[in-house]
Amino acid sequence: MRIGVLGTGVVGRTLADKLVELGHEVRMGSRPEGNEAAVEWVRSAGDLASEGTFADAGDFAELVINATKGGASLDALQAAGAENLAGKVLVDVANALEFHEGAPPTLIVANDDSLAERIQEAFPEAKVVKTFNTVTAAVMVAPDSLNESTNLFVCGNDARAKAQVIELLETFGWLSGDIIDLGDITAARGPEMYLMLWIRLMGAQGTPQFNIRLVRGE
């Protein structure tokens, strides 16, 4: 599959590395063509890797991953082009964190809205699926590194898009029974607000290498 990864940070590069490892053609998108981090990633990732602008990545891709900073995601996706996103699955990994007042951060949007909903509203022809935002990048691509089964969440309005994303998650090592479909895109409010707890847990544990597991009663 041709996949566009928007964002050159740790999350974007980690996901792009895994996708190339799995045999996908990956184009990393950034605001300026020739972004230093993107160029360096292409050098290290091999023949299936390429880089360009957000618009280049959006046009190239059959599936797009938004791994930009949450506060810049809408601008980045506008740069990618609504016409390049139309009809495509758009996997939103971003968290709308605000660091203007230092740590811990706050959320730009919460309670009765979410970043994923704003993306879906801004790009109604895209098929937005929220996932991955509740774990650190290393766990996204290697869930077995935690040495036990944990849960990951997906939500979105399009059932076929969610099914496609779940299939992709399974190739990353996530077990189908551990991937929980929370419903439509409004359900993204929960996973996005969970970041406030995740940040505190990271501080308490002294590591981002953790996840949660849902334990059901009889």
CATH of the domain at 88: 3.40.50.720
> Which spans in the chain are helix H?
10-21, 36-45, 54-60, 73-80, 82-85, 115-122, 137-141, 159-171, 189-205
> Are 40 and 69 within 8 A, CB to CB?
no
pLDDT band at 99 (very low <50, low <70, confident <90, very high): confident
- Evaluate the CA torsion angle 168, 45, 144, 68 in order and state its sign: negative
* pLDDT number for residue 10: 97
- What are 79's two structure tokens? 């740069």
Please tell me the total count of domains within the chain: 1
The sheet that has 49-53: what strands, in order across it?
Answer: 49-53, 25-30, 2-6, 63-66, 89-92, 127-130, 152-156, 179-181
* pLDDT number for residue 213: 97
* pLDDT number for residue 105: 85
> Are 151 and 180 within 8 A, CB to CB?
yes
**pLDDT tens, residue by residue, 63-82:** 999 999 999 999 999 999 99
Residue 213 within a domain: no
- Evaluate the CA torsion angle 193, 195, 201, 204 in order and state its sign: negative
* pLDDT number for residue 106: 85
Residue 212 within a domain: no
Q: Tell me the helix, strand and coil percentages in the chain, rounded to 5.
A: 45, 20, 35
* pLDDT number for residue 34: 84
Asked whether the bond before 105 is cis by omega within 30 degrees of 0, the reply is no
Residue 65 within a domain: yes
**pLDDT-wise least confident of 73-77, 86-90, 97-101, 166-170:** 97-101
Residue 127 is inside which H or E element, if any? strand 127-130
pLDDT band at 185 (very low <50, low <70, confident <90, very high): very high
Asked if pLDDT for residue 100 goes beyond 80, the answer is: no
**pLDDT tens, residue by residue, 128-184:** 999 999 999 999 999 999 999 999 999 999 999 999 999 999 999 999 999 999 999
pLDDT band at 59 (very low <50, low <70, confident <90, very high): very high
Asked if pLDDT for residue 103 goes beyond 90, the answer is: no
Residue with the larger pLDDT of the pair 33 and 202: 202
pLDDT band at 218 (very low <50, low <70, confident <90, very high): confident
Residue 214 within a domain: no
Residue 211 within a domain: no
- Host domain of residue 34: 2-205
Residue 124 within a domain: yes
Residue 215 within a domain: no
pTM, two decimals, is: 0.95
Average pLDDT, the chain: 96
